[in-house]
Amino acid sequence: MGCTGGYLTEAHLRGFERYKYNCIDTGFVSVYIMHPFWNYCVKFLPKWLAPNLLTFVGFLMTVVNFILISYYDWDFKAANDKEIGNTVPAWVWTVAAINILIYYNLDGMDGKQARRTGTSGPLGELFDHGLDSYSAALIPIYIFSLFGTQDLPPIRMFFVIWNVFLNFYLTHVEKYNTGVMFLPWGYDFTMWGVSGILFVATVFGPGIYRFSMYGITIANVFEFTLIGSGMVSSHPIIARNIYLSYKNKTGKMRPMWEMLRPFFAFLWLFVITLIWSFCSRNDVINLEPRILWILYGTIFSNIACRLIVAQMSDTRCDGFNVLMWPLAATVAVCCFPYYEQVFGMDLTADGERWIVQGLTIFSTLAHWHYGYGVVSEMCNHFHIRCFKITKQATVDAEQELQAEEEQLSAKALEPTAAEIVEEV
């Protein structure tokens, strides 16, 4: 599949061979509403359709939303003027809401399509969660355009995005230590909530989100709800699950520092980006906020993907991410307090803007290369195709399904205990 970067070691590949998906979903919406719906919908998909293709198409919907809203509101100022109203066309919010629902439902159906076609495996899970880590940065950015920079300044956007990163990352830290993916029930409410917020912007107009009462804005309510929901419904449960895995000796039983190791790269990224946000010589967070969110989201996705690889292959995760070296160097240059005295000239706003854009392009290409390399190496090792189902997999799935049906038929024909007693 072309040139790869040799990102996976022999230990990774051997770990993937032993890997078995272990998931617990206790969400009311997903268990009682969405899963039955997805089970029904997946029956209409052709069996030649690769599940990874569903995952990728769903991810592209989030990318389309980002590009579309960025075109009409690059600097998040479209909602600032209350008299004029939000300048983003109403149809954009409708398209964005529909695309979110497409992403959400395809994300729920890809695993079912994999089991239906006999293509379940570590590649599908890695591909799914890896793209989800990228979407974690894209989706909250849509909401920012509803509030504008007056009700939600970029520095507060920064903390909102990092809260989303934390909620996503903790789930995989939990699995890294427990060996079980506990699906957070808040995910379903988030997807429906974001889609609903965007639909409301179409029906009632986005100006409804600039409403305020006693100095409390809708943006304040959004921040409080997002951050508070994670602190109440997610973080304590994750801490409890990790604690119980150690208490009952059901998890990976890693030493304390190894248990905390996934946080090292995450915290390094947070500290470096926090310094840039507050100490930039040209206030870069207000100069190029959208580019910064993509840069931070890309590096975060790379950290999350490497953690996912480690947890699935049961190997040691990285304590530092290589993409943070150029980021740290850039922040050092852009925040150096004696820049003018040392270099004889100050760093201009345009200069810092070009630095941000260049670093974003570099980090994006590096992350894409990592993703392509990992997928290629896994495909080569397992002799599969990422976006194509082999004929053998389909045959195996049909044989497995037939065997299950025969077992169910045999059980149905077996006499019950009551029948045996009656015959005696």
Q: Which helix (DSSP H) or strand (DSSP E) does residue 319 occupy?
A: none
Please state, in angstroms and rounded to a whole number, the distance separating the CA atoms of residues 24 and 328.
38
Would the pLDDT of 2 be above 60?
A: no
| Residue at token pair 């943070």 | 324
Question: What is the model's pLDDT at position 310?
Answer: 96
Question: What is the model's pLDDT at position 399?
Answer: 52
The two tokens of residue 145 are 């355009």
Averaged pLDDT, 248-266 = 94
Would the pLDDT of 62 be above 90?
A: yes
Q: Are 47 and 389 in contact (CB under 8 A)?
A: yes
Question: What is the model's pLDDT at position 407?
Answer: 54
Count of positions (residues) in the chain: 424
Averaged pLDDT, 72-78 = 95
Please state, in angstroms and rounded to a whole number, the distance separating the CA atoms of residues 271 and 278.
11
- 299-326 pLDDT per residue, tens: 999 999 999 999 999 999 999 999 999 9
Sign of torsion, CA 386 392 394 396?
Answer: negative
Q: Which helix (DSSP H) or strand (DSSP E) does residue 419 occupy?
A: helix 417-423
3 state DSSP class of 390: coil
Confidence bin at 423 (pLDDT 50/70/90): very low
Q: How many CB atoms lie within 10 A of CB 261?
A: 20
- Beta-carbon contacts of 262 under 8 Å, excluding residues fewer than 6 positions away, are 169, 172, 173, 176, 307, 310, 317
Question: What is the model's pLDDT at position 231?
Answer: 86
Q: Are 195 and 62 in contact (CB under 8 A)?
A: no
- 186-232 pLDDT per residue, tens: 788 889 999 999 999 999 989 899 998 888 999 999 999 988 888 88
Q: Are 363 and 299 in contact (CB under 8 A)?
A: yes
Nearest to 126 by CA among 281, 278, 313, 292: 313
Please give the share of the chain, as a percent, with pLDDT higher than 90: 76
Averaged pLDDT, 158-186 = 92
Tell me the sheet residues that pair with 181: 23
Higher pLDDT among residues 1 and 135, named by residue: 135
| Residue at token pair 């082999």 | 390
Question: What is the model's pLDDT at position 22?
Answer: 87
Averaged pLDDT, 288-303 = 97
How far from the centroid of its chain's Cα atoms is residue 396's Cα?
31
Would the pLDDT of 290 be above 80?
A: yes
**Amino acid present at 266:** F
Question: What is the model's pLDDT at position 417?
Answer: 37
Confidence bin at 71 (pLDDT 50/70/90): very high
Please state, in angstroms and rounded to a whole number, the distance separating the CA atoms of residues 140 and 138.
6
- pTM score of the predicted model: 0.89
- 349-396 pLDDT per residue, tens: 999 999 999 999 999 999 999 999 999 999 999 999 999 987 655 455
Question: What is the model's pLDDT at position 147?
Answer: 95
Question: What is the model's pLDDT at position 421?
Answer: 30
Confidence bin at 419 (pLDDT 50/70/90): very low
| Residue at token pair 């919908």 | 41
- 383-408 pLDDT per residue, tens: 999 999 876 554 554 455 455 445 54
How do strand 23-25 and strand 181-183 relate by DSSP bridges? parallel
Question: What is the model's pLDDT at position 418?
Answer: 37
Higher pLDDT among residues 157 and 409, named by residue: 157
Alpha helices in 46-185 (DSSP H): 51-72, 90-117, 122-151, 154-178
Nearest to 55 by CA among 116, 128, 123: 128
Question: What is the model's pLDDT at position 401?
Answer: 46
